[in-house]
Amino acid sequence: MNTIQNILIIEDSDVDFDLICWGLQQIGVECPLIRGKTAEEALERLTRLANDPQQASGLPEFILLDIKMPGMGGLGFLKKIGQAEAPLTAIPVIMLSSSSNPADITLSYQLGAAGFLRKPTTLDGYAEKMGEVMKLLFPS
Amino acid sequence: MTVIVTSPKPGVTAPAVSADTVDLGNCDREQIQYIEAIQPHGALLIVEEPSLRIVQYSANLSAFLGLAGAVWHGQTLKQLLGEDSVRELQKTLTGSDLERTYLHLLTLSGPNRHDAAFHLFGNRMDGLLIIELERAVPNPDQKNALSLHTLHNALPLLKRPGKLQDFLQRASDLIKTYTGFERVMIYRFEPDGSGHVIAESREPTLEAYLGLHYPASDIPEPSRRLFQHRATRFLPDVDYQPVPLLPTWAEAGLERPVDLSFSTLRSVSLMYSVYLKNMGVKSTLVMPLLINRNVWGLISCMHHSAPRYLAYPDRIPAELLAGVITQWLREYEDGDYARYRERLQHSLIRQAEQAADQTSLHFAAEAIARLDLLNPFDADGVAVIMQQSLILLGCTPTENQVRQIADWLSQHSHTLYHTECLARDYPPAAEFGEICAGLLAIVLPKASENVILWFRKEYPQEINWAGNPDKPVVQSGEGALRELHPRNSFALWKQITRGRSRNWLVCELDYANELRQTLTDIILQRLKLVGDLNPPPETRQQELDSFFYSAAHDLREPLLGMRNYVQLIHREEAGTLSDKNAKRMDTLLQLTYQMEETLKSLMWFSTTGKEALQLETHKPGDLIREVADMVILAYPRLDIRIEIQSDMPTLPCDAAQVKTIYQNLIRNAVKYNDNETRLIEIGYYPGSGTPVFFVRDNGIGIPAEHHATIFQLFRRLHSSDAYGGGAGAGMTIVQKAIQRHGGHIWLDSTPGRGTTFFFTLTPSPPQGTAS
């Protein structure tokens, strides 16, 4: 876990971003947490990094992605990433949404999401949920 | 009395009508124009042209002219009247069109150069010349004779503006005054041939016939046709001895009897004379009122006390007067109609304005219902059904009957319907009796919801005959004909018109149709207006529900954020917070839970009840156990004992909703309980076909006055922080979930002892099947 360069968190809600960070801290994640406030902003950053070999090492270890956001939103982002070039398609994306709509879940997996997790409703839930994320990505 | 009836017209094989066989039913078969007889106050000749040879002549010819008896058949007019008279006659004949008209030809002195002179009248029929002779004697009763200057003076008085009825009354008064007849009646015919006495002037001692109606058979079609030809029918003495024509048509070598349609002297119908005799009439003079060759009506003059002979010069002013009346009649009739139409039109505009002033459909409908729809309209009653409300005015069937008519109308998609006999189209109307025979209805948009109906009584119910209806029928007359009497005619007419109303006029239909269009426009406009602003209630409820759901959903997210921050601060600053502020943070946390609870209830309400029930057969026992365990877990510090009956019945239900029901009931049983050990007993009674479930506790109980309030949304009996708080929606949710299953909930409670909630999850069996 310590080898994680950075994590990209695409989340429009300040509170939720804050709580996700808190949750990650609780389980011992210390790497830089980079925030994208919108899917567009995050996509632009990722594309810039991927196209510049000098900065390619700045690409995130994985992405935590909200669905409901202004603009293209989480599902739109997922679609763009799926159509992108090699280094970007390799980055795992985990959905973190308050949606329980089965269509959102199905579509997310169809678009290549590595996992779909419900946003916690309690504070402790955030720490637990981040633990699940790590287990999902790093089963060992 | 000699029976003077038909030799039937060749080709028509109707049985001969005699006094014994004639009745009102075969009146139409009596072909009176072929009667070969005349009245004795004149003489008649039928001659060939141009020879002027006499073919037939009335048997009284010699006596009438004061000549010695002779056989005139085969002789010429010259031999009868003399060369001079015939020369004069021929001059007139060449200058006159006598086809289908009857003219005065000349006045001549007798063959013996007597003082007594004769009037000669004539017309041509079937290629023969028919000549009538009448004595030119002055009327001995001179004071009544109309002179031209009195007629001239009378006319401006006659033609005063006003109603047709008043005009005809003045006309009959005038004719009575100037002809000296004891009774003058003006009849009016309806399109169906029936008629009634519309005006009458009579000597006070005579029985009144004003308002009397009689069926079409009373003045049979042949007679009415004859009136189209002849201006006047004159019968000076009803007891006259008919004078036969000599020889008979067959003996005279004719193919058939000569048509005497245009003859004044022609003998009258047996029917007619018997009718008059039964009425006690001795003499009549009848003049038709013709409009466009149609017989509009008749002026009938009658004399009761004695026969009355009105000489030709005295009949001329009466006939002229009848002609003038005919001319003006139309004007008065049109005037009546125009005034009525104007009245309807005027009220239509006012009514439309009243309804159009209203901005909402509701008020427009109310305004329409309040319109004065009876006053301007010639109907006996009106019913207005507007937006479910019903208003009855005047003489109408009952509310229920009116609604049924409206339903019937809307089923037949009539927009404008009218009938004189509703029972013919709508058999149930037979039960309404005389109240409602005629119906005029307009159906406004939204079918049976908006209907206006005008009712008209049965026609006979409207009649106010001036005669005494209780007076026994006079039984004079002969054989089968004794029934011929106005009183019987009236009775027959009443029988024929039973269940029928007067006809609706064109202007009434126009009015109704225009009113329908105007009101339809107003209603549609209001509907559209209302539709734009206020969708139908179902849509409004749906929109409200979805608004509640998204509002609750969107409020919940920031609420969760707030709660998490509160927890975060509380946790990270645990050491630095003062006790007071630490407690405040706790309260803040509790408030978020309370608010979340309320939001959840809102979301539950806005979705549950809209989705279809997922009915599957469940063992409620399993569901209850699951819920009970959850509640016990939620209150780890309390001593809770939940006993669940082991043999709970299985039944089709929605598992999620049943869980909600028990979750709320058990939680309430735990919350509203001060006992050390909270006892909750869950079970059921088999009931009468429907199992009755119950949840019993040993809690604080609910006072009887609150038994209804507890089911109201967000109503709580205790302060929000007492007894563990809550949104105040639990029991409402329970009730709604139960109602969705078709069941119902009730309770039994003793304050301080405990409460038992009972409920069913299936509709109760219909009453009477319960054992």
Cα gap B305→B750, rounded to integer Å: 102
Closest Cα in chain A to B564:
A123
Indicate yes or no: CB of B564 within 8 angstroms of CB of A126. yes
Indicate yes or no: CB of A122 within 8 angstroms of CB of B564. yes
User: Which of the four pLDDT bands, split at 50, 70 and 90, describes residue B12?
Assistant: very low
Query: Cβ(B81)–Cβ(B89) under 8 Å?
Result: yes
Cis peptide before B156 (omega within 30 of 0): no
Cis peptide before B50 (omega within 30 of 0): yes
| A122/B contact by beta carbon, under 8 A | yes
pLDDT, position B437: 85
Query: Cβ(B527)–Cβ(B445) under 8 Å?
Result: yes
Name residue, tokens 């019987």.
Answer: B488
Tens of pLDDT, residues B175-231: 998 888 999 999 888 877 788 889 999 999 888 888 888 777 777 676 777 777 766
Q: Which residues face B132 on adjacent strands?
A: B44, B121
pLDDT, position A126: 93
- Direct distance between the N- and C-terminal alpha carbons of chain A, in angstroms, rounded to an integer: 10
**Quick one: which H or E segment has residue B519?**
helix B506-533
Indicate yes or no: CB of B564 within 8 angstroms of CB of A15. yes
Q: Which residues face A62 on adjacent strands?
A: A7
| Tokens standing for residue B547 | 């608004």
| Tokens standing for residue B490 | 């009236």
Indicate yes or no: CB of A16 within 8 angstroms of CB of B561. yes
Cα gap B385→B366, rounded to integer Å: 10
Nearest CB to A98; choose among B557, B564, B568: B557
| Tokens standing for residue B408 | 């019937």
Indicate yes or no: CB of A123 within 8 angstroms of CB of B557. no
Cα gap A61→A108, rounded to integer Å: 19
**Does ipTM surpass 0.85 in this model?**
no
Over residues B408-429, mean pLDDT:
83
Tell me what the pLDDT averaged over chain B comes to. Answer: 79
Indicate yes or no: CB of A19 within 8 angstroms of CB of B567. no
Closest Cα in chain A to B556:
A121
Sheet of strand B183-189, all strands in order from the earlier edge strand to the far edge: B213-214, B195-202, B183-189, B294-303, B283-291, B233-235
DSSP strand E in B387-540: where? 389-394, 416-419, 438-443, 451-456
Tens of pLDDT, residues B142-165: 544 456 777 778 888 888 888 888
| Tokens standing for residue A52 | 């510049």
Greater pLDDT, B445 or B124: B124
| Tokens standing for residue B224 | 């009415």
CA distances from B101 to B122, B229, B260, B261 (A): 8, 7, 12, 10
pLDDT, position A64: 96
CA dihedral over B587, B590, B596, B597, signed as positive or negative: negative
Nearest CB to A123; choose among B557, B558, B568: B568
CA distances from B296 to B129, B170, B536, B660 (A): 30, 18, 57, 85
Cα gap B734→B728, rounded to integer Å: 12
Query: Cβ(B673)–Cβ(B699) under 8 Å?
Result: yes
Helix axes A123-137, A14-26, angle to 10 degrees: 60
> Which residue type is seen at A13?
S
- Direct distance between the N- and C-terminal alpha carbons of chain B, in angstroms, rounded to an integer: 89
pLDDT, position B24: 45
Name residue, tokens 């997996």.
Answer: A109
Chain A contact set for B571 (CB, 8 A):
123
Q: Could you give the percent of chain B with pLDDT greater than 70?
A: 80
Q: What is the DSSP annotation of B178-203?
A: HH--SEEEEEEE-TTS-EEEEEEEE-
